[in-house]
Amino acid sequence: MYATSFQYVIWSHLDRFQKTTSAGRQVFLVPIIVGVPRETFPDERRVALVPAGVSALARSDVSVVVESDAGREAGFPDNAYEAQGATIASDRAEIFASANVIAQVRGLGANPEAGAADLDLLRADQILLGLLDPLGAPESAQALAEKNVTSFALELLPRISRAQPMDVLSAMATIAGYKAVLLAAHTLPKMYPMMITAAGTITPAKVLIVGAGVAGLQAIASSRRLGAVVQAYDVRPAVKEQVESLGARFVELELDTAESETAGGYAQAMDEEFYRRQRELMGRVVAESDVVITTAAVPGAKAPVLLTEEMVNGMGAGSVIVDLAAETGGNCELTEAGKTVNAKGVAILGPMNLASTIPFHASQMYTRNVTAFLENLVDGGEVKIDLDDPIVHHTLLTHEGQVFNDRVRERLGQTGADEGSGD
């Protein structure tokens, strides 16, 4: 039911947007206006677009309207936006009323409580893009479809080379991996590097990184910069070279990992017997570590438990676990999201939304992702929804009153050959 190249065009009577069609007809395009509302998720300090993004989008004839103080907590005051040509609106409703594209960090789905209020402000044919957690909250996608909103979930971006500048998950994971090391170093009652002092030699901390995705690799690099001895484990043997290139030792366990990764490059959930065997083999490595940072997550699913209470009890007093999967249930059996748990002298940190704790650079990186995505979407003053483009095809969540993405449709119990075609 979807055309292979669908053009989403809004008409106006503004002379500077006059265009002549191939048929010689004079038409007037409504300017594309991106609205940037203030984030409402608890303790969220990021903003979807920093001032530099305003001037970047202007090159594609895209205007920007920003809710007052939207960037303040990230270090970007209103006057910085105005200096780049953005309009500041004091009323949130005005943002949604004046913009035809809404850019958010956490949109409906990823902001389940406060985000519900924005649903009333969204209008038919408006475009919403951001982190929308469609696999974790598929009902929000249905609500957007019923509102006839065209939405793009940036966490569904395919792992292809052309999409790398738009990869929000990788950008935010980079920050999380870095900050996890700082939290561990702050909590550990030891120093990270080896030091030769007049009082004797101080041995380096032993750090184990579980999961060598973007967050894990950054955690390896940051731990090495601080002088720790680092080991890393991942179910994907292919990442061994990356781990070793950063100066860490790759931990190899005797496990069948052939189905550990999806065709799209994301981690794939394994069966419980696999995880049981993995925990059994990993126990010794965990016991000899001063710090364990876990990063294992499966999109749209509960995080696998990799560290049991028994394994934690085998660690030395003063050891630290930083569980980056705390928001989705945790990789450690004892993790409590948003809290620090003391388990017989072992500190277990369950941080949430770490990227938001470094909002200045997180917002800069997110802006580059968003502007790259919009530049791919906008052509000649029009927003073009080209379903032959894998970037559009995979991220398109709702369109023309329907949930488009197949995985989300499946979670909603929606089937049918003539309905939706995203994957």
* Residue 290 known to be catalytic: no
Considering 78, 118, 133, 167, which one is annotated as catalytic? 167
Please report how the helices 168-187 and 214-225 are oriented relative to each other, as an axis angle in degrees rounded to 10: 40
CA–CA separation, 386 and 7 (whole Å): 7
Give the chain's radius of gyration (CA, Å). Answer: 23
CA torsion 351-357-363-364 (nearest 10°) is: -110
* Residue 233 known to be catalytic: no
* Residue 159 known to be catalytic: yes
Sheet holding 249-250, edge to edge: 249-250, 229-233, 206-210, 291-294, 320-323, 346-349, 340-343
By the 8 A CB rule, do 86 and 12 touch? no
Considering 104, 142, 170, 319, which one is annotated as catalytic? 170
Running DSSP on this structure, what letter comes out for residue 21? -
Running DSSP on this structure, what letter comes out for residue 74? G
Establish how many alpha carbons lie within 13 A of residue 3's alpha carbon, considering only the half-sphere containing its beta carbon: 8
CA torsion 68-69-74-75 (nearest 10°) is: 100
* Residues composing the chain: 423
Phi and psi at 173, nearest 5°, equal -65, -35
Considering 159, 225, 249, 277, which one is annotated as catalytic? 159
Phi and psi at 196, nearest 5°, equal -105, 110
Phi and psi at 206, nearest 5°, equal -105, 120
Phi and psi at 48, nearest 5°, equal -70, -25
CA–CA separation, 253 and 48 (whole Å): 41
Considering 266, 275, 386, 414, which one is annotated as catalytic? 266
CA torsion 373-354-242-190 (nearest 10°) is: 160
Considering 7, 12, 90, 164, which one is annotated as catalytic? 164
CA–CA separation, 129 and 25 (whole Å): 32
E strands within 115-211?
A: 127-131, 150-153, 195-197, 200-202, 206-210
* Residue 266 known to be catalytic: yes
* Residue 161 known to be catalytic: no
Catalytic residues: 159, 164, 167, 170, 266
